[in-house]
Amino acid sequence: MDRRNHTFSGPSPHSKWLSRLEGGLRQSYGPGETIVVPETGRDRLFVLDAGLARISLNGAERELTLGYLRPGGFYVTHTRAWVQAVERCETVSWPVDAMLGLVTREPELGLAAFREVGILLSGALDLIEDLAFRPVESRLARFLLAESAAQGSEVISLIDSTEALATALGTSRQTLSTLLNKLIREGVIERADRRRIRLLQPARLKTLATVSAG
């Protein structure tokens, strides 16, 4: 499975059209700091140069994690989502008009730019599909496989707090812990240490990942 649900990977740091944008405002954010506050009236395109950031929607009493940005990932700030640094982050940003001006001047770059913008929408649709049609255990299996692919290892580092991972999967912390312990008892995964999980039976996880809600 190569679909990276809950992860907005974006373009590579050397994306051709991004490399043609001039200037750019470089900013640093510490863990827990807000990178994007929605609907501020200042639409910008930014690239995450270093670190890990969480994209979420905040309601009156709860937060829904939509996905994560890794280095090389990019985001456009005109949505209702918040972006928060999970670890120390470095961003480079431009006004959206700078991107539109580039596409106007060099139309051949437009297709590449909008294809990569579509990656963000694809990630959001994956999340909606998971929440609507898959049980929590299937969502967890898909997440573990996606992180294994993204991190290039069968030993994966948990990228955020248990609470944030639970909200990303649309469940409670207690339910998530119960499911993780169940997979451990069944020999599907094991705890490498407090923050890392080793996938022992990826094939079993792939089977679980295809289960739909009854």
| pLDDT(185) > 80 | yes
Q: Going edge to edge, which strands form the sheet with 89-95?
A: 25-29, 89-95, 44-50, 74-76
| pLDDT(161) > 50 | yes
Between 111 and 78, whose confidence is greater? 78
Of 103, 130, 157, the last residue of a domain is 130
From 41-55, 122-136, 171-185, the region with the lowest mean pLDDT: 122-136
Between 113 and 180, whose confidence is greater? 180
Distance CA 193, CA 204 (A): 22
Distance CA 49, CA 204 (A): 35
| pLDDT(103) > 50 | yes
b/e string for 51-62 if b means 16 or more Cβ within 10 A?
A: bbbbbbeeeeee
Q: Domain count for the chain, please give it.
A: 2
CATH number, domain with residue 139? 1.10.10.10
Which range, 61-75, 116-130, 144-158, has the best average confidence (pLDDT)?
Answer: 144-158
Q: Which pLDDT value is given to residue 77?
A: 78
Q: Which pLDDT value is given to residue 14?
A: 43
Which range, 18-22, 58-62, 98-102, 209-213, has the best average confidence (pLDDT)?
Answer: 209-213
Mean pLDDT of the residues in the chain: 79
pTM: 0.62
Same domain for 50 and 152, yes or no, is no
CB burial of residue 125 (10 Å; 0-12, 13-18, 19+): exposed
Q: Which pLDDT value is given to residue 8?
A: 38
Same domain for 121 and 154, yes or no, is no
Q: Which pLDDT value is given to residue 108?
A: 66
Q: Length of the chain, please? A: 214
Torsion of CA 14, 1, 155, 49, to 10 degrees: 20
Same domain for 150 and 94, yes or no, is no
**Domain boundaries, position 162:** 135-209
Torsion region of 135: left, alpha or beta (phi above 0 gives left; psi -120 to 50 gives alpha): beta
Same domain for 22 and 89, yes or no, is yes
Q: Which pLDDT value is given to residue 176?
A: 92
Model confidence pLDDT, tens digit, residues 3-49? 333 333 444 444 666 667 777 888 999 999 999 888 666 778 888 88
Same domain for 98 and 169, yes or no, is no
Q: Which pLDDT value is given to residue 23?
A: 76
Q: Is 86 within a domain?
A: yes
Same domain for 91 and 29, yes or no, is yes
Same domain for 12 and 114, yes or no, is yes
CATH number, domain with residue 28? 2.60.120.10
